[in-house]
Each structure stands twice: as C-alpha cells, then as structure tokens.
Amino acid sequence: MQAARSQSSPARSRSRTGSWRPASGHVFVSGYVVLLALFGLVPALYSLYLAFTDASGKFSGVKNFTRSAKDYRFIPAVQHVAVYLVLWLVTLTIFVVLLALVVHRLTSRRTKAVLRFVYYVPGALAGASSVLLWLFVLDPAVSPVSKLLRWTGNDNFAQVIVPNHLPAVFTIIAFWTGAGGWIVVLYGALNTIPTELMEAARVDGANAVQTALRIQLPMLRKWIAYMLILSLAAGTQLFVEPQLVSQASFGIVGNDYSVNQLAYQYAFSQNDFNGSAAISIDLLIVALICAGFFVARGRLFETD
Amino acid sequence: MSQATLSAAARARTARPADRTRGSAARISSRGLITLFLLVFVAFFLVPILWLLLAATKSPSNLVSGHAFSIGSWHDLRTNWNHLMRFQDGAVKTWMKNSVIYAVGSLIITLLVSVPAGYAMAKMDFHGRRLLLITTLVVMLMPSAALVLPTFLELNYAHLINTPLSVILPFSFFPFGVYLTYIYFSTAVSADLLAAAKLDGCGDFKAFFYVGLPLATPIIALVAFFSFVGNWNNFFLPYVMLPGSGQYPMQVGLTQMLASTPTFNPVVGADAEVQPPELILATLLSVAPVLIIFLFSQRFLVSGLTAGGTKE
C-alpha cells in the first residue's frame, strides 16, 4: 500500500506493533485510497506547486499570490463574497433555528413530518436548475410574485439584479435550497434533549420562549456552530449563481463577481494557471481551516 | 442539501417522540402568529416549484399575460416539448443521457470502493487506519468546489479533459459515503458476529462477503441516494471539465439554453432558438429524476436522516 504509506506519519498512527505490516484491511481500503490520493491530495499538491512557480516552472515565491491579490478585481470579489456570507449566515441562523423550534413544538406528528418534508423538497433542485428557476421567479414579467417585486420598486428584471441586490438574491437561492436540510438536522438535535429536562422546565413554570432560550438553544449551540462553519466554507466557493446571473444580466453583472469566478477567469480567459492556482489555494486554505477546526475541536466526530 | 448537512444529519440521534404541550387559552393568539409564520415559509418553499410545473404548460405569450397560477394547455405543453427536443438537433436528449451516464457510472464506482473501505475502517485493524479516518473527515467537510480547479489542472496534465472519465472519476471520490458506511458498520455489525464467523473458519474476505455485505443493504441505498443526487446536480465540475457541448450533462446544457433565450439575452432576437416556457420545461426535466427520488424516499429522508449514527 504505497499510497497509504506515503501519507502516514508514524507519530500519528497508533498501532499495536509500530511497524508497517501489510494487512487485509489495506486491500479493502486500497481503491478508496487511490481515489483519495488522485482527487483529494494530488490536486491540492499540484495546485500548491503551480501557485509557487511561474509559467516556465521556475520557483517564484509568493509572486503569484501578490499578483492575483493586487488584481483590480480581487478585492471587490472578496468584498462581494463577504457581504453575501454575512447576510446568508445571519438569515440562515435566525430562520432555521426559529423554524426548527416552532415545528418541534407542534403537537401533530403528521403535520411535523409534512412540514419538514415541504421545507426540504427544494433541496432536490440545486446548481444551475435552482438558479434558473429563481431567474424566472425574480423576473417581474413572468414572476408568480410580480406584485411583490413591483411593490418593492422593481419593474423589470434588470432592476432586480443590479449588483447591490445580488447578496440578497444569492441568499434567497441558497436559503431556498439549503435551509430545509438544516431544519431536519436541528430538529433531530432537539429530539435528543431528554424529555425529563423539558418536563422539569415546564413544572418550574418556564414558558415556550424561556425553555427555548435557557434549554434548547444552549443544547443546539454545537449544531448551529457546525452549520455556520460548513455554510461559511461552502459559501466562499460561490460560483454557479453569479456565473448564471452575469450570463443573463445583459452585462450589468460582470463575470468576475466572486472569487471563484476570478480563479476561473484566470485559468480559462487568461490561460494563467499559476495565478488561478494561487487564488484556488487562497480559497482552499479557508475551507481547510473550517474543516480542520471541526475535526480538531468538534466533539461531533469522535472517530474511535 | 449539502453533503456536510447530511453528515450532521447522519450523526443526529434517533428521534424520540416529542413531548406534547397543551395550548392554554393565553396561547391562542400566539398560535395564529405561529401558524402564519409556518405558512409563509411553506409558500416560500413550495410556490416556486408549483409555478414551475404550471409554467411549463403555457405558451410564451400566456406565460407573460396569463395569471401566474393558471394552468396552460396540453397542446402548449406538447408544443414546448417538441421545440425542446428539436433544440440543436436533439441536444437535450444527449445531455440527459450524459447526466445518467456520469451519475450512474460514478455511483457504481463509489459503491464498489466505499463499502469495503468503510467496513475495513470500522471492523479491521491495519496501519494507517486512524490517519485515513481523519483525512476522510477533513476532505469530507471541505466543499467539493474547492478542488474543482486544481483537479482540472491535474486532469489537463493527464490529457483527460473533455472525456467522460474527467467527470466520472472525480465524482467517484466520495469521502462522505465512506464515512457513512464506516459509521454504519461500527454500529450495525457486532464484533461477536464477526468473531463467530472467524471461529467458523471465515477469513477477513469471507467474513465481509457472508456477514458484512448482506447486512449492508440500507447503507448501500443511503450512499447511492446521496451520491446520485449530488452528482446529478453538480454544475461546477462538469462545467470546467467538459468544454464540448456533446459531452455536457443536463445541468451545464441548461446554461447553453439560457444563452439562447431572448428574455435573458436580447442579442438572440425574435427568432430565438429557445422560448421561456421551453427553458422552464428543460429546468423541470433537469430536476425530474431527483424530484421523483425525493418524493419516493420522503419517509426515509425526514426520519431516516436523523436515525442512527451516534455511538453512545
């Protein structure tokens, strides 16, 4: 198992013998290890190599990073993504927590199940399909909520997707496809709170709001943090939404709105793979920090 | 729903029946508010889907002038369908076929690879097991989009760009599936059972085939579901890997149709290739398989997601 061996550090792997002996377990994991190497580790390492070299393959230090960060499009792209993330994470937290708590309090089990499913269904639409659907829903000419759009001062599609509106538009799309899944997760977490505890709170005269604030929310804290970290990591990768909006926007929205789009432009419009790799590494670091934080600190994933 | 969300769901414990609270007279008014709050969100989540279903049955002019929630006609639906099928000499059929090939091909490889791997990580002792588990967790928690451009650079180096393999192979790498099978085998297959099999003279391989695999049906279904849905809906990776229209999956094909729709691209002009209702029908077609799977697995989705997974 050459692949597994190369990833090992003797200090990390606790084992019974302390030397590398082949075992039948290695045969079982071999296929997965090959894929993990080819599509998890190698791309990341190859990116690193590209990010620190120039077009001719010579080592170039942090030149690619400084060059791409100084690009006049880079800071705006980071700002766009940051604004979207703040709006999206705040919206997500408030409404997912509220909906999970409210659905959990309902008495009819059937209603609860139906509601959880209804909130979850849009999860079936992701990627380009959900963005397209929302392009229509946000076009006052055909929208089922055109009155609402006109009432908020948007008479045509071009007014809806001005750059200032985009963080809100992307938040709506992301919430529509993703919130239901998190509602199901938090609902499940609420079910793990011992019934005796909830009973005791009620006997002590706590009402629904007090119970939510004093018992349920502290119990949910870990899950909310988990939701935020993962949504943050995924949100930094924003690509398909601005890409399609810019395509449909008559040039109102550029094709370099998000950081990932910029990385894409570097690779495919400018043939600058080194600069593209540098931006990819920037994003990869954010994602790795988020994931690493959880594996290191979170007690959600107890491995053994 | 993201992989990460699901991993959280997979960890949550089995639902207990919630405690029943009785509404007192004082709560009646707040009840109305709560109902309203829930219904607003029901509308938010459902109205776009309902509208999409209805809009596909309308003519282009009816779509603009008619009531948003009126039903079109069978005739208009057929006209839209025929136009859609004629788009670029039947490109839509090709794209749907590609989507099936990519999603199913990678699903098969994913299952072949992750079931034995998850089993070994849960039930066998070998060097590097813990390291592999931690690596799996880290990669699983990272958004898959983070590695798309790096993977492109790698496959470009290997001259695989614009081949089905450039999508199927990266899709087949599904750490979340390995993690799920690992969790499942940790709890579902008892050590005693395996010890008994060993006593009866089964080696590691026989024990896996005769004890582990027969018990794995539920987890195979679960991993298959997540893998299929995730790959079917994936846009960014095929968008980057497949420059040629003949290789597009439906998700990427939709963007090409968007570029030929006058509503969103005035340059196209009056004799546009794609009318809005046709694009709506294409969107519907692109989500139909997943939507149908969702509806059929409704019970397992909202309850099964939160069942099992933790080791007390």
Tell me the pLDDT tens digit for each residue of B136-179. Answer: 988 888 888 888 989 998 999 999 999 999 999 999 999 999 99
- CA pseudo-torsion sign A80, A81, A83, A84: positive
Burial of A271 from C-beta contacts in 10 A (0-12 / 13-18 / 19+): exposed
Tell me the pLDDT tens digit for each residue of B24-37. Answer: 555 677 888 899 99
Contact between B280 and A226 using a beta-carbon 8 Å cutoff: no
Contact between B229 and A264 using a beta-carbon 8 Å cutoff: no
Q: A224 CA to chain B: closest CA distance, Å?
A: 11
Contact between B153 and A50 using a beta-carbon 8 Å cutoff: yes
Tell me the pLDDT tens digit for each residue of A233-271. Answer: 899 999 999 999 998 887 788 899 999 999 999 999 999
Q: Does B215 or B265 have the greater pLDDT score? A: B215
Separation CA A125–CA A172 (nearest Å): 14
Question: What phi-psi label fits residue B89: left (phi over 0), alpha (psi between -120 and 50 degrees) or beta?
Answer: left
**What does the pLDDT read at residue B301?**
64
Burial of B220 from C-beta contacts in 10 A (0-12 / 13-18 / 19+): middle
Chain A and chain B share a number of CB contacts under 8 A equal to 367
Q: A96 CA to chain B: closest CA distance, Å?
A: 11
- A272, A302, B215 from A56: Cα distances, Å: 12, 45, 54
Q: A53 CA to chain B: closest CA distance, Å?
A: 14
A115: chain B residues, CB-CB within 8 Å: 38, 42
Q: Which of these, A151, A87, A159, A161, lies nearest to A131 by C-alpha position?
A: A161
Summarize the confidence of residues A190-195 as an average pLDDT.
Answer: 86
**What does the pLDDT read at residue A185?**
86
Contact between B154 and A198 using a beta-carbon 8 Å cutoff: no
Q: How confident is the model at residue A192 (pLDDT cuts 50, 70, 90)?
A: confident
The partner residue sitting opposite A13, judged by closest CB among B127, B150, B178, is B127
A176: chain B residues, CB-CB within 8 Å: 44-45, 48
In A, minimum Cα distance to B258 occurs at A248
In A, minimum Cα distance to B66 occurs at A142
Written as six digits, the tokens of B247 are: 């290789």
What b-and-e string marks burial along A128-141, b requiring 16 or more CB atoms within 10 Å of the CB? bbbbbbbbbbbbbe
For B94, residues 6+ apart whose C-beta sits below 8 A from its C-beta are B246, B248
Contact between A16 and B13 using a beta-carbon 8 Å cutoff: no
Identify the helix (H) or strand (E) that includes residue A184.
helix A166-191
The partner residue sitting opposite B47, judged by closest CB among A144, A178, A247, is A144
Tell me the pLDDT tens digit for each residue of B197-249. Answer: 888 888 888 889 988 888 888 889 889 998 999 999 999 999 999 998 899 99
Q: How confident is the model at residue A21 (pLDDT cuts 50, 70, 90)?
A: confident
A144: chain B residues, CB-CB within 8 Å: 47-48, 51, 68-69
